[in-house]
Structure 1
Amino acid sequence: MGQSSETVAGRGKPRVAKHEGPRPLPPIPNTNYASFMLERMQAHGDNVAMVDEEARGRRTYAELCDLIPRASGGLKAAGVSPGDVVLLITKNHIDYPLAMLAIIHRGATCAPVSPTLKPDELVHVVKISKARYVIACASAVGAVKEAYFRMPKWTLKQLWVLDSSSGISQFGRLLQQDPVPAFSTDDGLDPAKSVALLPFSSGTTGLPKGVMLSHRTLLVPHVRSVYQESIRPKTPKPTRNLFQTVMLFLPVSHTYGHGMVTATLFNGGTVVVMLRFSPKSFFETIERFKVTWAPIVPYIANFLIDTPLMKKFDISSLVGFTTAAAPISAAASNTLMKKTGRVIGSAYGLTETNGAVSANSTLFGFNPESVGRIVPYCDVKVVDVETGRMLGERQEGEVCARGPNIMLGYMNNPKATASALDAEGWLHTGDIGYFDEDNFLFITDRIKDLIKVKSLQVSPTELEALLLSHPAVEDAAVVGVPHAKLGEAPRAYVVLRSGAILRPHEIEDFVSERVSSYKQLAGGVRTVDAIPRNPAGKILRRQLKKDFMSSKL
């Protein structure tokens, strides 16, 4: 589990870690987020902003800048008022930014939602958000209707569908209205307090929570990127070249996918929209569209390390990868960089922090063992889990973050908000970690994922890293399961590489030879075809625990 505060006591005085740059950080604009983006996007004219990988559609910057105010006018004509919540339930779609920015332009709140949610899950989302308007892709319409059917009559005022579907109002009708100006500060908008985006947390520790992000919060990553460019040494390959063509198979309903879309539009690049990841389409898309940047998640990085497809396609356009949403091992990162000859950036952040808290990058430096240096506009402190006392360098505890990038709270959930945000505005992330003398941040675990073997804490990620070091293991997950003598014990789920033969007792022996007795896999080992993960690549530990308990009934 890294180094405890007891073993490193005295290494550093308690302090807050933050970016230490050569010049002051610029202020965050006090404006409507959509207005800000439109002003930036207008400079890119007829360049392609969004294109479908199967060439079924495209949008230029000029089109988006014309249509967003029209769609905002359509929402106004339909009765959407500033402050209303509009659910945007869609798979990856070229019109995601059009719909999302139109909602925010109107002064309403856009709530991106995964189209894979079942009606019961959507009922939960509707109850939290109080949303009475929905924009959805055709595949989600059935679940939307069923969810609202279970709500009081007239809860749903209007449903628009992005794709063709008979008998349902088309999103395209909103685009036929005259354009309207953005809801602004003159109209009563408070960019620091008005909720522009309402993404839903992954729900790994309970039912999903609506994360309230203000207009000002959404602006932070863009202002940060401008600042970073201002202090970057002049090179032949500026950041905008990285954003020239960005592939997107990450779901837009997740902060990572959403952030890649908005960052690319801010930099004038083209987003190549993919519905899902597949090995062949990944490389075909890079080759066909001359992709310059590929945002991925760690389990895809592990796939890329081993696949023979890398040599069968032309990936010469690719400048680099970025990985986020889940931890990636230093070994995997270094191996992928060596194999591809491309830089592998990484970042750590949460939905609640609207993206990065820290990043490994060419500007701030790399430490593959870490999750990068603290980024501008975000302060970090580490506190003792039991006492809340602030710790110093290399002292392990709960990571807390504060800054204009932090959420306002969880919508209609004051109890959860109070447990996450303290009186001084610090977000308690629930992650265990520490920072060093150079402000590199290290994440070692999740508080709620720790396995309690008697009174001792065991890190599942430590055991997963060990399992992945075995040449026959392709993927692994470790969870705590009930144990008669130990209270809780580590149990491993392992995916073997193609053709490999490895028996459960051999895996147990491999681990027991390398860890203390209390960290051994006393909960057993099960080989499986795949580790359950959410679309962002995070292990669904609750599902594994639930499956284990069901097998014991």
Structure 2
Amino acid sequence: MKRTSRFQPHDVTRTQREDGTFLLTSNIPLGPVVEKTGDWLHQWADEAPDRVFIAERSGAGWREETYAAALQQVRAIGQALLARGLGPDTPILVMSGNGVDHGLLALASQYVGVPLVPVAEQYSLIHGAHGRLRHAVELVRPKMAYVIDADQYAEALALDCFDGIEIVATRPHGHAVTPFADLMKGDAGIDIDAAYAKVTPDSVVKILMTSGSTSAPKGVLTTHKMMCTNQTQFADSLPFLRETPPRVVDWLPWNHVFGGSHNFNMMLANGGSFYVDDGKPVKGLFDRTLENLSMVTGTLSFNVPVGFGMLLGALQKDETLRRRYFQDLDMIFYAGASLPQEVWSGFEQMAMEIKGEIPLMTSSWGLTETAPATMIQQEPTERSGVIGVPLAGVTLKLIPDSENRCEVRAKGPNIMPGYYENPEKTAEAFDDEGFFITGDAMAFNDFDAPNKGMRFDGRISEDFKLLTGTWVRAAALRVEILSLMAPLAAEIVITGQDKNEIGCFIFPSRDALAAEGYSDEEDNGALVCKQLLAEIHHRLNERAGRVSGSSTRVSRALVLAEPPSLADGEMTAKGNLNYRKVQTRRADLLERLYSDDAGVARL
């Protein structure tokens, strides 16, 4: 198969130290890094003033803002912020999702040195999640909060934690809030050039909230240096970013580091165009994504695996859309989990039929604390699940815990300086050599050939022991069982800590159950359809014949009737499960799983 050749081959060095740890570094030199994100905005406003920078749907078409217009508006908004007395110690809370005004406000705050705190819109729009919103407000104590629509967010804005905070809305609807248009008027009394000159690479750009999947959300201090370095690292690894201005039609949320820092800044750094996709890969909203793609397609395609799975099905049915999608496509980039191999192969086959070559299909690895990318698969590979090698300027410390599995720690200019007003957690996050303790595990694809890259091998904290003392690598096992139960399972929780056997909770896909003809009879929090339990038993039994050892054998399963609760902390706004919370909140069902109840599928 012919594959795109515009990539930088892997080139790493692995060194083993006397203590048994390994250091893994890239031999690719780090290119020039701009001082702050405003430098990119100035560059492209000068070199390509009429090129679309950011756009969102407006009626039957798009509201498009060029680089020249964006710079003018960013400077005006920056003046308005400074005129209100905002500065490094008075953050701005953003409660709404992606949009042009959100993007302009973010860049304006960066331009004048005011930290932005984007939080998941679900925290405001779901009544039961208001506790998460209150936590963020009380942690960062913002002086201003932005929403797109004052009516839509009225319930959240009525919380007492917003007393004394200026509320700004694009659509005020008569509420006693500041219209966003007022910020756009600027303030001639503010010397915006002098203010911009005071911003440094170490100025805090954002305070990004962690997911809270293992503890209360923490505020990650994100600087210009972190974000600007990360984009140089990307372009050093992916030269095609500098050859042709990139374009995306993207829905990934900006309160998350992948959508808001990785994707957004990739367009800004390389003079690209960001079209905000107001659809999502969920029932009822995916049709909007397809409508948007029928109007504009990207040179890069970012998504989570479930999104790519839905897109593949749509492309198979629509030849016109299929040709548009692949026409200018340089890269397919998945994140959040491994892309199912059948989806991977489906995109490869389509690309060959349309273009006669396959775009770079890849992923990377990182965390909110790493801006985000620290590793990337920057050369073509033939299978999903590979996350590649360190980016330029990054050093990984690999601490072996078995023959080919390592705990991963990272050091580099893209790593955070710490957590907002939390010196204790900051100290815990770094080891005595200054490496950030990621908590993730990796394995080499070929230990003797480190340039073949590494693959993710779970969270160290998710591992547990059975009563026998046997270690269970829950993350890797979860991925396998989730694939085994497809399409019936939407999510899996592996159980068994301090038990004799491994079990699992299954969050079902209701649509898949209906399509497969299974009923969904509920019994005290579980689904007990005999045909469904028999099918699960059959699949687990077949797998048992292929695996050996108590560390991998799943002996029992229970299908849950209630979906994971965001309000009760079982699920984060990013869609990640808090596995411990699921098990503690449903302790009665965990006890039932290890009983002789007839509603449990067991071997």
Q: TM-score range by the shorter chain?
A: 0.7 to 0.9
* Counterpart pick for 1:449 among 457, 462, 467: 462
1:285 and 1:291 in contact (8 A); partners too: no
- 1:159 — aligned with what? 167
1:41 and 1:268 in contact (8 A); partners too: no
Q: Residue 525 in 1 paired to residue 558 in 2?
A: yes
- 1:255 — aligned with what? 257
- 1:34 — aligned with what? 38
* Counterpart pick for 1:460 among 474, 491, 496: 474
- 1:104 — aligned with what? 110
The Cα of 1:302 is off from its aligned counterpart by 3.2
Distance 1:446 1:331, change over 3 A: farther
So what's the TM-score if we normalise by structure 2? 0.77
- 1:181 — aligned with what? 192
Return the alpha-carbon distance in structure 1 between the equivalents of residues 46 and 311 of structure 2.
37
1:243 and 1:267 in contact (8 A); partners too: yes
1:491 and 1:522 in contact (8 A); partners too: no
1:138 and 1:164 in contact (8 A); partners too: yes
- 1:203 — aligned with what? 212
Range 216-225 or range 36-45, more displaced: 36-45
- 1:347 — aligned with what? 364
- 1:413 — aligned with what? 422
Return the alpha-carbon distance in structure 2 between the equivalents of residues 304 and 510 of structure 1.
31
Matches within 5 A, 1:399-438: 399-435=408-444, 436=447, 437-438=449-450
Matches within 5 A, 1:100-499: 100-117=106-123, 118-138=129-149, 141-147=153-159, 149-150=160-161, 154=164, 156=165, 158-166=166-174, 167-177=176-186, 178=188, 180-182=191-193, 187=198, 189-192=199-202, 194-228=203-237, 232=239, 238-239=240-241, 244-258=246-260, 259-277=262-280, 278-307=285-314, 310-318=317-325, 319=329, 320-330=331-341, 332-341=343-352, 342-343=358-359, 344-362=361-379, 368-384=384-400, 395-435=404-444, 436=447, 437-439=449-451, 440-454=453-467, 455-470=469-484, 473=487, 475-481=489-495, 485-486=499-500, 489-495=503-509, 496=512, 498-499=515-516
* Counterpart pick for 1:548 among 575, 586, 589: 586
2:385 and 2:456 in contact (8 A); partners too: no
Return the alpha-carbon distance in structure 2 between the equivalents of residues 530 and 361 of structure 1.
37
1:249 and 1:273 in contact (8 A); partners too: yes
The Cα of 1:485 is off from its aligned counterpart by 4.4
Give the secondary-structure state (helix, strand or coil) at the position aligned to 1:516: coil
Q: Residue 514 in 1 paired to residue 546 in 2?
A: yes
Distance 1:371 1:285, change over 3 A: same
- 1:505 — aligned with what? 537
Distance 1:121 1:134, change over 3 A: same
The Cα of 1:241 is off from its aligned counterpart by 7.0
Return the alpha-carbon distance in structure 2 between the equivalents of residues 507 and 543 of structure 1.
27
Once the two structures are superposed, residues 481-505 of structure 1 have per-residue CA deviations (whole angstroms, 9 ceiling, x without a partner) of 4678428744344544732665332
1:106 and 1:183 in contact (8 A); partners too: no
Count how many residue pairs are aligned between Structure 1 and Structure 2.
520
Letter matched to residue 505 of structure 1: H
Return the alpha-carbon distance in structure 2 between the equivalents of residues 228 and 552 of structure 1.
46
Once the two structures are superposed, residues 81-135 of structure 1 have per-residue CA deviations (whole angstroms, 9 ceiling, x without a partner) of 2342111222111222210011111111111111211332122112221222212
Return the alpha-carbon distance in structure 2 between the equivalents of residues 330 and 404 of structure 1.
34
1:472 and 1:500 in contact (8 A); partners too: no
Give the secondary-structure state (helix, strand or coil) at the position aligned to 1:99: helix
What RMSD over aligned residues (CA atoms) do the two structures have, in Å? 3.3
Give the secondary-structure state (helix, strand or coil) at the position aligned to 2:76: helix
Range 116-125 or range 301-310, more displaced: 301-310
Unpaired stretches in structure 1, ≥5 consecutive residues: 1-8, 233-237, 386-390
Once the two structures are superposed, residues 282-335 of structure 1 have per-residue CA deviations (whole angstroms, 9 ceiling, x without a partner) of 333222113332210122233344557543542324314211133335554344
* Counterpart pick for 1:25 among 27, 30, 33: 30
So what's the TM-score if we normalise by structure 1? 0.84
Return the alpha-carbon distance in structure 1 between the equivalents of residues 45 and 382 of structure 2.
31
Distance 1:269 1:467, change over 3 A: same
The Cα of 1:474 is off from its aligned counterpart by 5.3
The Cα of 1:539 is off from its aligned counterpart by 4.1
Identity %: 20
Matches within 5 A, 1:48-67: 48-54=52-58, 55=61, 57-67=63-73
Return the alpha-carbon distance in structure 1 between the equivalents of residues 498 and 415 of structure 2.
42
1:297 and 1:536 in contact (8 A); partners too: no
Once the two structures are superposed, residues 49-104 of structure 1 have per-residue CA deviations (whole angstroms, 9 ceiling, x without a partner) of 22224535221211101111110000011121234211122211122221001111
2:363 and 2:386 in contact (8 A); partners too: no
Give the secondary-structure state (helix, strand or coil) at the position aligned to 1:316: helix
Range 487-496 or range 74-83, more displaced: 487-496
1:85 and 1:130 in contact (8 A); partners too: yes
Once the two structures are superposed, residues 397-423 of structure 1 have per-residue CA deviations (whole angstroms, 9 ceiling, x without a partner) of 211111000011111122221221223
Once the two structures are superposed, residues 418-474 of structure 1 have per-residue CA deviations (whole angstroms, 9 ceiling, x without a partner) of 221223221111111134432412211012222432222223343344335548535
Distance 1:86 1:114, change over 3 A: same
Return the alpha-carbon distance in structure 2 between the equivalents of residues 545 and 28 of structure 1.
46
Return the alpha-carbon distance in structure 2 between the equivalents of residues 18 and 206 of structure 1.
31
1:136 and 1:162 in contact (8 A); partners too: yes
